[in-house]
Amino acid sequence: MSPTPATPARQQRSPWWVAAGGGIAGTVGPGPLVLSTLGVFVLPITEETGFGRTTVTGAYSVAAVGMAIGLIIVGRLLDRFAVRHILVPSFVLFGASTALVALMPPFAPAFLVPFFLLGFFGAGTAIPFTKALISWFDNKRALAIGITAGISGLGASITPILAGHLISTFGWRPAYGVLGVLAIALSVTMILLFVRSRAERHVRGRLVEETVEDGREVRLELPGLTFAEALRTRHFWLITFGLGLVGIVVVGLQVHLVPMMSDRGLVPAQAALLLTVFGLASLVGRVLGGFIIDRVHGTVIGPLVILAPIAGILFLQPPFGSAAAAVAFIGLAFGIEWDLLALFITRYLGTRAFGQLIGLVNSVFLLGTAFGPLLLGIGYDTFGSYEPVLPFLIGTLVLCAVLIALLGPYRYPAVEGFDQVAAQDELAAAELLSEIAGNEDVPAHEEETGASDSATVR
């Protein structure tokens, strides 16, 4: 097959701008802009519409369902289309859906429709950034992902303040309109200025497998398993259950943290402040975790991080100082665990079908985390206390640590010097990865053997 004429190369820029631009755009994504601000909107909406709080807060669940569906679709698109061609329409439609909330009548089903849409379209505002980052970074991949996630996470601490100001000044309906416009303006600007994948060539948005530039014919094939092959490996299921169950435990603890600590003697204001401690600690964990994971094998750091919340659970007691330290420990571990998912997929399953794999796993995680708060709530209603449920949570974390420890050596370890090559000549980096992909000859059912011979590890 002859190479396909594609978009030309652009002027080279430091790949760290991709991480920064993606992080800033992420500050107006679904998590920071809508889900983190929902609590600020509850009272104004209930007072005007007469809705119960269950209806308003139920918008979170509706958005989560929409996003879970959208993630599977976006994942498939991500392996076929250019990152910008997914990000820009997704942010525009997400912002428009957010603004649409302002126009909804006081009728509960109609009110929830925009939240389903913003979740559905919001699915295309997150994982494409990760796809772009892993194309540029191999040696410092986890750090790049952690920095982008950390910057985006800062939005969750800023947007509630902004939303509160807009509500007090203009009302809740105009506030949603302004947030929707802000999402479109800031994200599209950052994406067009800074975000693109390395050596991404396309024809009207659809990715091509070969390109010719300045008489240089380059294949753009990526190493890794196909989607079907990946599903047949033990690695896929160990990653899915090993990290997915951790999310159920930690999110359950996060949601029930305030009532749990109020029951144990903290005043409500102190108990609520623990959520801020958790959020800040998880942000630190994302950046710190990226730094550590790039240097320590995932099967070493992974189990340690998963077991760390057990210490937090055991010491989650008054006074406030010790409770805050325990919560910070849990949040720090949760932030590091966030970095492990994308890294494990690329190290054990490769990048060929990264979009489909990360979309499916994230969708499962998103739906799974809904069970954490539910299980703790059922436990409390059944026993009248959270204490009988805690041993179950600890046992789950121990099981997850064992599953991650069983992953074994990386099949696709980092290529020595790749980041420097990619920063200087992205097509040279593409040729390197294409050579690794071409040399793959190990059948999927023998994937346990480990690293590819064609990759030089750090």
Residue 35: its pLDDT value, please? 81
Tell me, yes or no, whether 236 and 201 share the same domain: no
Q: What's the chain's length in residues?
A: 458
Domain termination site, one of 207, 241, 264? 207
Domain final residue, candidates 368, 387, 405: 405
The residues, ordered by sequence, that sit 6+ positions from 443 with a Cβ below 8 Å of its Cβ are none
User: Buried (b) or exposed (e) across 318-343, using 16+ Cβ within 10 A?
Assistant: eebeebbebbbbbbbbbbbbbbbbbb
pLDDT value, residue 330: 85
Count up the domains in the chain and report the number. 2
- Is there a single domain that holds both residue 383 and residue 265? yes
Predicted confidence pLDDT, tens digits, the chain (458 residues):
444 444 444 456 799 999 999 999 999 999 889 888 887 888 899 999 998 877 887 888 899 899 999 999 999 999 999 999 999 999 999 999 999 999 999 999 999 999 999 999 999 998 999 999 999 999 999 999 999 998 988 888 788 889 999 999 999 999 999 999 999 999 999 999 999 999 888 888 888 888 887 777 888 899 999 999 999 999 999 999 999 888 888 878 877 887 888 888 888 778 878 877 887 888 888 888 899 999 999 999 999 989 988 988 888 888 989 889 988 888 888 788 778 899 999 999 999 999 999 999 999 888 877 777 778 888 888 898 888 988 999 999 999 999 999 999 999 999 999 999 999 998 899 889 988 988 875 444 444 444 444 343 34
Map tokens 């079908």 to a residue.
353
Whether 257 and 187 share a structural domain: no
| Cβ proximity of 451 and 238 under 8 Å | no
**Residue 20 located in a structural domain:** yes
Q: Provide the pLDDT for residue 371.
A: 76
Beta strands 210-213; 206-207: pairing state: unpaired
92 and 201 fall within a common domain: yes
CATH of the domain at 58: 1.20.1250.20
Inside any domain, residue 38 = yes
Query: Do 368 and 257 share a structural domain?
Result: yes
- DSSP E strand boundaries for 151-266: 202-203, 206-207, 210-213, 216-219
Inter-residue contact 198 to 324 (CB < 8 Å): no
Q: What are the CA-CA distances from residue 175 to residues 18, 51, 105, 126 (Å)? A: 30, 18, 16, 23
What is the pLDDT, as a whole number, of residue 207? 86
Question: Is residue 170 domain-shared with residue 306, that is, in the same domain?
Answer: no
Residues 290, 368, single domain; the answer is: yes
Single-letter code of the amino acid located at 436: I
Do 237 and 191 share a structural domain?
Answer: no
Distance between CA atoms of 342 and 444, rounded to whole angstroms? 20
Structure tokens at 229: 């092959």
Mean pLDDT of the chain: 87
Within-domain flag for 427: no
3-state helix, strand, coil in the chain (%, to 5): 75, 5, 25
126, part of any domain: yes
Does 190 lie in the same domain as 98? yes
Are residue 107 and residue 251 in the same domain, yes or no?
no
**Is residue 35 domain-resident?**
yes
The residue from 207, 241, 271 where one domain ends is 207
Which of 226, 193, 279 minimizes the C-alpha distance to 10?
193
Is residue 191 in a domain?
Answer: yes
- In a 3-state reduction of DSSP, which class is residue 212? strand
**Domain shared by 343 and 284, yes or no:** yes
Classify residue 144: in a domain, yes or no: yes
A 10 A CB-CB count for 100 gives: 17
Angle between helices 16-26 and 127-136 (to 10 degrees): 170
- pTM equals 0.86
Residues 391-406 have pLDDT tens digits of 999 999 999 999 999 9
Find the domain containing 255 and state its range. Answer: 227-405
Can you give the pLDDT at residue 12?
61
Residue 334 in any domain: the answer is yes
Could you tell me if 249 and 349 lie in one domain? yes
